């Protein structure tokens, strides 16, 4: 009996450490995903606020920030369509505003 306890105790302790490590890593991964999502939405709100400004230079900065966010590694695939639709909604009126005289060129990712 003493031999079983002598072998089982360290083995069970090791398995407990492995299980704890697995749970901690899973929690850290979920926290990273949540952080990325929150940061993406924070940057999205900021850039949309700038892009919808009445000041042309501020508005241009917001559009550039949106394009930068669209190409960023922080952006998840699920958020890609949201950013694309927001860009289309913001860029279309801006392009139509400038279609009469000055021409602006905004490049979109294909």
Torsion of CA 24, 28, 31, 33, to 10 degrees: -130
Any domain includes 107: no
What angle separates helix 77-97 from helix 56-71, to the nearest 10 degrees?
150
Structural domain range at position 7 = 2-97
Does an H or E element contain 5, and which?
helix 2-51
36 lies in some domain? yes
Query: Number of helices and strands (H, E) in the chain?
Result: 3, 0
Q: Summarize pLDDT for 75-110 with one digit per residue, the tens.
A: 877 788 888 888 888 877 655 555 554 555 555 544
Number of domains in the chain: 1
> Does 104 fall in a domain?
no
pLDDT per residue as tens digits for the range 40-88: 889 889 999 998 888 888 888 888 888 888 888 878 777 888 888 888 8
The answer to whether residue 78 sits within a structural domain is: yes
């Amino acid at each position: 009996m003493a031999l079983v306890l002598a072998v089982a105790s360290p083995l069970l302790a090791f398995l407990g450490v492995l299980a704890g490590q697995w749970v901690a890593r899973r929690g850290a991964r979920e926290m990273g995903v949540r952080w990325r999502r929150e940061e993406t939405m924070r940057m999205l709100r900021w850039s949309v606020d700038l892009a919808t400004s009445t000041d042309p230079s501020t508005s241009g900065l917001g559009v550039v920030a949106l394009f930068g966010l669209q190409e960023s590694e922080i952006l998840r695939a699920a958020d890609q369509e949201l950013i694309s639709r927001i860009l289309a909604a913001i860029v279309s009126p801006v392009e139509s505003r400038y279609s009469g005289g000055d021409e602006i060129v905004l490049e979109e990712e294909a």
